[in-house]
Every structure is written in structure tokens, then in C-alpha cells.
Amino acid sequence: DAGVIQSPRHEVTEMGQEVTLRCKPISGHNSLFWYRQTMMRGLELLIYFNNNVPIDDSGMPEDRFSAKMPNASFSTLKIQPSEPRDSAVYFCASKKGIYSDTDTQYFGPGTRLTVL
């Protein structure tokens, strides 16, 4: 099992540029989560999907952030335009069950984003 795959692992961009982060969940998993981790705010849930449908995006900080899941094996998180305060590590996680609170979320290695 390859685990959750994220790309790129590192991204350095300039303020105002568009950034797209990518995630491939574990095959057979039905829920996908995007998190952001910073020193100041810790680990924050941005959005999650069940069966490719966005369920809760209340953690998305601003309209500059958008996320899509066009199929069961791929999701993107886009920031347009990017700002220095978006610098963080972004994690994708997936989970098998939709309604089970006991299932484990499996995390990808993260994308470290630096916005100059």
C-alpha cells in the first residue's frame, strides 16, 4: 500500500502567484481531509470530502482557498492569489469509513509551502 501521496513536497512561490497542491488518497478510502499546520495555530482542518463531495469547508480561511475532488483518487487544494501568511505545511489525510468515528485517518507526508 503506497499510503497517501502528496505533491509537491516543497513549494516556494512569490506572493500573488497561484499554488496548487495535490493529493492521492489510499485506494478504497471514502473520506479525504485537508489540514494546515503552522507554529502559531497548530493543526487546522480546512475541508473534508465524503465520496468526493465536500462536506464541511468551514475551516477554509478565505475565498482565496478552494479545494476539489474530481474523482476518488485525486484532490487539489488551490490558493489564488497566495500570500506570505499562507506559508505552512499542508497535509492531506484519508479514511476508509464515512460514518465511523473509530476509523483511523492516514496522513500524507505534507507539502511545505513558502510564499515569499
Partner 1 sequence: GDSVTQMEGPVTLSEEACLTINCTYTATGYPSLFWYVQYPGEGLQLLLKATKADDKGSNKGFEATYRKETTSFHLEKGSVQVSDSAVYFCALSPIQGAQKLVFGQGTRLTINP
Contact set with partner 1 (CB under 8 A)? 4, 31, 33, 42-43, 45, 48, 50, 55-56, 91, 93, 98-102, 104-110
Q: What is the DSSP string of 48-75?
A: EEETTEEEE-TT--STTEEEEEEETTEE
- Min dist. Cβ of residue 81 to partner 1 (A): 27
- Min dist. Cβ of residue 105 to partner 1 (A): 6
88's grid cell: 505552512
- In the bound state with partner 1, the residue whose beta carbon lies nearer, of 8 and 16, is 8
State how far the Cα of 80 lies from the Cα of 51, in Å rounded to an integer: 25
Q: Which of 112, 114, 60, 42 is nearest to 85 (CA)?
A: 114
- In the bound state with partner 1, the residue whose beta carbon lies nearer, of 23 and 79, is 23
- In the bound state with partner 1, the residue whose beta carbon lies nearer, of 41 and 83, is 41
